[in-house]
Chain A
């Protein structure tokens, strides 16, 4: 967005009772806070609706193609997903705590808690990076790029390529390998048609969620800078509160994504 300084409106010489944080067009701090609060709630509504499109797609494809979901789910690493769930839950705690710190004028606590939240956000993305690179490596890609690779003991390569772009031929290819591979390796099961759709949905949902984490990192950094400058106090803590709400929503979406993607089948 733009800088405010140039605008003549930021001139409140005729309102001596206006504290510095109060924008010129609001009557009093309560009105400003209430506006911000309503604004952020409405924004969160739009976020929910934004994700809802993906949830609807998920429901429809799962309803019509349960076999894809059961098959593909085995490729996701529940432990990593669980780790990320814990990380995010913890970060929600520190975020909520930060809001409390701001309300109680605890500058140091605010800085610590915001930093912790930030660390969690990066940790989450780190784990996601590990997961993603694994999938790229194994050819578990969305849609037409879906081209799973089977690993054999000792060789970590693309030797036996089951390359079946969702074609019906997939069913035959996987059979002759079964003796060699690790028995429960998921790629040994017959590949259902259009299995790539699961990964489309997986990458869209987690990717969009990841972008929200990135935005969250931006917001929290901004709060951190302002907190260090000592801009928040018991009269003015709105921004911490709003970002907190945003962060909880991002968290909540993950709470849904985790079971829907990792814990099926």
Chain B
């Protein structure tokens, strides 16, 4: 029991200079049972990257299959009579896209920024030692693991081909084991997400240091706060929905299953009541990352702080009112019109943010480091994704575009071009803090540019074929669409390689990277005021709280290749 304990007790009184959270204790157990938010954040990071890799492999299989669009490219008809397995290539395709979608949404993108980066950064950003409920935090991580295991079980237990949306009555009538396991997974992951959100809200309410009022809080924290509210208010509805669906599946209770008098459209309402807000769980934290990146690398105070902060909250609120736009074709006309209108209203706060970021860059001294490249790439891709969302929010066009590749391209622009790119930017930005190592700037930026270019190569053709009617979720297509699919597939493989390259650059830095200074980029938020990597308790002495975007408060010190606090001869102008 006490091994981890002993190794630290004799050192606690005098922290040696390079003691940090990574060296505070050793051994697998000291990680698996840790209550340190930094270690939990790191474990989450590894977990979500693993999930992303898995989802990415599924995606590439899908794209490879679509290269020729005939059943005989990579997927094949599986027929093992002795085991009673028989599956056509088409079935396999269905399972692949379902798993790809489910893994990417539930296992990767929802926990990516909040649970991995947020866990690590949030307490340090407010100068606290940990989140409010460290044990709940660890529990959230293990729930995530449990959910992941359920998804893997779903593959084994006969697969899952309902699409990640689990629409009834399809999900109540096919592949029992797979659907049931995946529903359990979604339920458990929901609790994982709720625990993280609850922890963040309480931490931000009760543990901010004196001097940091709500409007001295870095925007990343506002974003996490808004996200946490959505997580808390939307996820329970998903919980009860998948639970009812699971009970439906097992007992046939007739709530969603029309065979027994149930209402499948009710399922859709329940599902989207969670899942539309869930897209803001995916994008809002990413926006928070971007606010930090843009301000730091423009070396300028963020423009319109309060607007950005409030727009996060506005998105959180509006996000709850628009779920019906996923069901235009399944709801009444009046309902559809109202949902269409509300959908447009959500785009306003998002646009406010984009304009504020642009205004922040205006006349800034822009430093095109890797994180900034990701931020710029986010701006471009998110804008495209957002604007094409308006086409889909418009009733008349949506009836044409619904369930085509246009939708696929739209949400990949938002989720991958938006969230994933921001996540990568965030990882590069906080990497020195998390690991204490600097990565190779040149190669990192090359891959950042590669990701941007190949992303467009992959997904832009999908807008075109979608608008010409290529339906989604099909493993085959008519001749006319082939050229677009081929471009898209080539792009996807190049994209996959760039992503792999970026990962290798980061991993290599662990071995060869230069030692990171406390503040390599010149940011003014608190996490850069402790050493890199942070000590076990984050701060030995509570840091002084100032304006988080006062870039003049730090100056470059060539000796340590990093930034240090400006000396008191120029007193900290923390009043703006």
Q: Which A residues have a C-beta under 8 Å from some C-beta of B?
A: 1-11, 13-14, 23-26, 31, 34-35, 38-39, 42-43, 45-47, 49-54, 56-57, 60-61, 142-145, 165-166, 193-194, 196-197, 200-201, 203-204
Contact = CB atoms under 8 A, between A and B. Distances in A.
B252 A5 contact: no
B253 A143 contact: yes
Contacts of A196: 253-254, 260-261
The 6 A-B residue pairs whose C-beta atoms are closest, nearest first, are A194-B261, A53-B240, A200-B253, A143-B253, A143-B254, A25-B130
B138 A2 contact: yes
B33 A3 contact: yes
A197 B9 contact: no
Contact of A144 (B25, B130, B232, B260): B260
Interface string B13-43: 1000000000011000110011110000000
A205 B257 CA distance: 18
B239 interface: yes
Contacts of B201: 38, 42
A35 B198 contact: no
B213 interface: no
Interface SS of A by simple majority: helix
Contacts of B203: 35
B209 to A, nearest CB: 9
Given A46-B232, A197-B254, A53 B237 contact: yes
A197 to B, nearest CB: 5
Nearest to B194: A46
Contacts of B536: 8-9
A242 to B, nearest CB: 12
Contact of A14 (B13, B241, B253, B259): B13
Given A5-B1, A6-B2, A53-B240, A13 B9 contact: yes
B238 to A, nearest CB: 9
Contacts of A7: 4-5, 33-36
A52 B206 contact: no
B134 interface: yes
Interface stretch (B262-270, B469-477, B513-521): B262-270
Contacts of A197: 253-255, 260-262
Interface string B386-412: 000000000000000000000000000
Interface string B193-225: 010001101110111000000000000000000
Nearest to A50: B236
Q: Interface majority SS on B: helix, strand, loop or mixed?
A: helix
20 contacts: A1-B135, A5-B1, A6-B2, A9-B130, A9-B537, A10-B5, A25-B207, A34-B206, A35-B205, A35-B207, A46-B236, A52-B237, A143-B253, A143-B254, A143-B262, A144-B254, A165-B260, A166-B254, A197-B254, A203-B253
A231 B254 CA distance: 48
Interface residues of B, number: 64
Given A13-B13, A143-B253, A53 B241 contact: yes
Nearest to A68: B261
Nearest to B25: A8
Contact of B133 (A39, A60, A145): A39
A146 to B, nearest CB: 8
A51 B240 contact: yes
Contact of A4 (B135, B244, B254, B255): B135
A177 to B, nearest CB: 24
A158 B136 CA distance: 50
Interface string B128-170: 1111111110110000000000000000000000000000000
Nearest to A52: B237
Given A4-B35, A35-B133, A194-B261, A11 B12 contact: yes
A193 to B, nearest CB: 7
A56 B266 CA distance: 10
Contacts of A193: 261
